[in-house]
Amino acid sequence: MLPDSPTGGPLDGVLVADFSRVLAGPYATMVLADLGATVIKVEGPGGDDTRTWKPPVRDDVATYYLSINRNKRSIVLDLKDPDDLADAKRLAARADVMIENMKPGGMVRFGLDHPSVAATNPSVVYCSISGFGTRGGAHLPGYDLLAQATSGLMSLTGDADGKPFRVGAAMFDVLTGLHAAVAILAALRHREATGEGQLLETNLLSTALACLVNQTEAYVGAGVVPQRMGNAHPSVFPYEPMPTADGELIVIAANDGQFRKLCTVLGDPAMAEDPRFATMSGRVEHRVEIKDRLLARLATRTTREWFQAITDVGIPCGPINSIEGGVELARELGLEPVATAADDAAVPTVRSPVDFSATPPTYRRSPPRLGADGDEVRAWLQNG
C-alpha cells in the first residue's frame, strides 16, 4: 500500500481505483474513503469536469468538486498515452475495487473493462455506473436532470397546475453513488468469504425508479399514475407547509394520535372528534375542510410561537430554512455538520451523516489538487 495509507478505519487496506468523474462515482468513492479506503482518483489531463463548475469557489476551487472528493489522491493519466495507460493497468491490477462511469463500453478500447481487468485481477470488485444501463440505453448520456425528467420525478414536483420542476440538488446522482457504495461493501464481504470478485452495474434511471418508492409502487402495484400536488402528500394529511401569522411552518400529523394532539394544541379539539376525520383516509378525503380550519388557527400566532408550542407536544413541525439555516440548525442540535480535513489545506466539507461507536469516518485529506499525488503514485505503481 502507499506510504501513510493506513487509516485504522473499517476499510483500512482496501485500495480503490477511481476512474469515475462528476458526481455519482466520486460520491461513492468518498463514502469508501471516509471509512478508511485508499482511493486513487484517476483524472484526464483536463481534470474532473466538476473542477470547472464555478462559481461558487473556495480559493478558486469549485465547491462542487470539493463536496465529493475529500480523502483521495489525484493522479493525471492520459489513457491515450501508452505510458499512462500502462500505469492505469498497473493500478487496475492491484485494486481491490475499481469504479468507472464512462459511457457503457467506453473502457473496452483501453483494455480497462471488467473482463480485461478481471483477467489479471480476478478478485477485483468492479463497479460500472451509467445513466440508463448497458442495454437499450447504453447510448444515452447520464445526467441527473435527465434522470429526474425521464423517471417521472419532475412530473411530481411543482404546483398541481404549474410546470414540472427539478429537485434543487442532483439527488439521483447521490443516491446512485450510495447504492454503488452499498453494493461494493456487499461484494467485498462476498469476496472475503469466497475469494471471488464480481461485476456490479447500476444506473441513474433504475436508482430513480427505486427511490421514488411509494410513487413508483402506486403505478406498478395499483396502476395509479401519481400527479403533481405541490407540497401536499397523496396519502398523508396534514403533511405540508402552512402559513402562520408571519411566515410558513411545516406541519405533519402522520397518524391518528398525532392528529388528535395537533388539534388540541391548535385550540380546535372538536376537529379530532369528528368521525369524518378519525382515520388517515378520511382526512385525505376531507383535506380541504381540515386545511381551512388549520389555517384559521395557525394565523393567530407566529411561526416561532407555533414551532415551539407544537414541538413541545411531540408533533413534527419546522420552519423552512435556507441552506445556511439548515447548517446552523444542525450546529444548534449538536450534530457537528462540518468536518475539516487534518492537513495543511484544512478544507471544510460536510461531515459524513453516519456515526460509528468504534470505527468512525475520518477526514484525513482535503480534496486534492489536480495531479497532486501523481509522482508518488507513479513511483509506487512502477516500483512498489
Q: What is the pLDDT of residue 2?
A: 77
Helices 303-312 and 256-265, axial angle in degrees (round to 10): 130
C-alpha to C-alpha distance for 365 and 378, rounded to whole angstroms: 19
C-alpha to C-alpha distance for 242 and 256, rounded to whole angstroms: 19
Tens-place pLDDT, residues 165-185: 999 999 999 999 999 999 999
C-alpha to C-alpha distance for 190 and 200, rounded to whole angstroms: 13
Residues shown for the chain: 384
Question: Would you give the DSSP letter of residue 372?
Answer: T
- 267-306 in b/e form (b: 16+ CB < 10 A) is eeeebbeeeebeebebbbeebeebbebbeebbeebebeeb
Helix (H) or strand (E) holding 198: strand 198-203
Among the listed residues 48, 187, 189, 190, the one whose alpha carbon sits nearest the alpha carbon of residue 126:
187
Spans of the chain, pLDDT less than 70: 1, 3-4, 384
Q: What is the pLDDT of residue 8?
A: 83
Helix (H) or strand (E) holding 261: helix 256-265
Q: What is the pLDDT of residue 288?
A: 95
C-alpha to C-alpha distance for 363 and 348, rounded to whole angstroms: 10
Q: Which residue has the cell 455538520?
A: 337
Residue numbers annotated as active site: 173
Tens-place pLDDT, residues 313-349: 999 999 999 999 999 999 999 999 999 999 999 999 9
Q: What is the pLDDT of residue 7?
A: 77
Peptide bond into 56 cis (omega under 30): yes
Q: What is the pLDDT of residue 324?
A: 97
